[in-house]
Amino acid sequence: MRSSMANFAKPSLPRFSVDVYQNEYLPEGGSEVNAIVTVTATGGGTIGSAVSAPVYTAGHRPSAAVAVMVDCSGSMDYPPTKMRNARDATAAAIDTLRDGTHFAVIGGTHVAKEVYPGGGRLAVADATTREQAKQALRRLSAGGGTAIGTWLRLADRLLSAADVTIRHGILLTDGRNEHESPDDLRAALDACAGRFTCDARGVGTDWEVKEVTGIASALLGTADIVADPAGLAADFTRMMETAMGKEVADVALRVWTPVGTAIRFVKQVAPSMEDLTARRAEAGPRAGDYPTGSWGDESRDYHLCVTVPPAGLGREMLAARVSLVMPEPGGGAGSVQNLGAQGLVRAVWTDDMVASTSISPQVAHYTGQAELAQAIQQGLDLRKAGDFDGATAKLGRAVQLASASGNADTAKLLAKVVDVVDAATGTVRLKTRVAEADEMTLETRSTKTVRVKK
């Protein structure tokens, strides 16, 4: 059920391990192979993210550069507390920077402006630059439109100037991306993808959920809502702590499959759903790389589904080999370093029906979590479109799935949008009045998953 392999790549790199959970037994003629691949990175000096003050060993930490993009559009002054809270949150994030980290603050409207340090440079964090940066924040004022693509392109220019391991952005918006076309944003995201990672936050309730989640998805970061501006400082501090905990960047999941095999999908399924299938970059014969961004001490799960040519009873084949690669430090374009750990996804044809009909608990769990995310999205879309029967059915199914899988956070969010009559059967009624913040929170967090109960 489980195989594990791990290797130290280099003493300074975290140790990656790959575990494969699957039922490899197929009936005669069976061709679809599913597996959950758990990738865990440990070591490298960080301690758990639950601890608020990470301990960093001087000289051991990877170099990092961070750009904070703060929405300064006119709406940030309505109410005025929004701009003030954004300023305070950025200051808190700057306080969380460890010494030696390169950083910049960008003020975003329909154009992007360097707030600190300016001159197309990055500052290097120490007591002096932190204080200077906070002084500069006081000059931030609201006024203008919103063109997020321009913010991202400036962040990319600044971050790429630094010779560092980790490049990360934090983006805050309160409104819709109204002053450029969706294509402009798409083009900016395509240009930045793989160059830096970025967390995106929407403050208040006047922003577009799909824009914010789309930015985080493209740039392999997290997305969330901060409905109450007062919560911004704590959220920014957490995001920066996580960024400071990253140890390696540009890690890709390399999937090798034998000849005649088709990859149906590759999804990250924990901590959140992210379909990576279309983001494959070919990597030699029958192998492709799927981007996973930067890693600290953390564990993520991936669902791999492949179809293989059926073989005879008693035959066994390797359906996929999963490994991890990152760009070779100092290497040329395309040269990668294998991080050592690998997992084998197998197919074994058997006439033992008990074996071939059982479903791996991990595969079943994440298949359910994927359906949960989809049911929430569809339910909310139908509700917006006025199809209340359809919305009730989808959200009822979501309640049922969240309840059965123990996804308590999502269950709580659902309960703010529907009245749950019976969670086990998915019987719900749409609430007549739903706070906009609650609906947006549910939509933004619909892709959050829980891991399988061990």
Residues contributing to the site for another protein (CB under 8 A): 1-5, 20, 22-25, 257-261, 308, 311-319, 344, 346, 348-355, 358, 360
- DSSP letter assigned to residue 448: B
In 3D space, the residue among 308, 286, 304, 290 whose CA is nearest the CA of residue 250 turns out to be 290
Joined tokens for residue 377 = 């999205």
- Cis peptide, bond prior to residue 327, ω within 30 of zero: no
Residue 287: Cβ-neighbour burial (10 angstroms; 0-12, 13-18, 19+):
middle
Nearer to another protein, 87 or 254 (CB): 254
Asked if 297 contacts 245 with a C-beta cutoff of 8 angstroms, the reply is: yes
Nearer to another protein, 20 or 227 (CB): 20
Give the nearest distance from C-beta 308 to another protein in angstroms.
Answer: 7
User: How far is the C-alpha of 376 from the C-alpha of 402, rounded, in Å?
Assistant: 10
Joined tokens for residue 418 = 């529907």
User: How far is the C-alpha of 71 from the C-alpha of 76, rounded, in Å?
Assistant: 7
Asked if 206 contacts 175 with a C-beta cutoff of 8 angstroms, the reply is: yes
Give the nearest distance from C-beta 348 to another protein in angstroms.
Answer: 5
Asked if 322 contacts 345 with a C-beta cutoff of 8 angstroms, the reply is: yes
Joined tokens for residue 434 = 């739903």
What does residue 97 show for φ and ψ, rounded to 5 degrees?
-60, 135
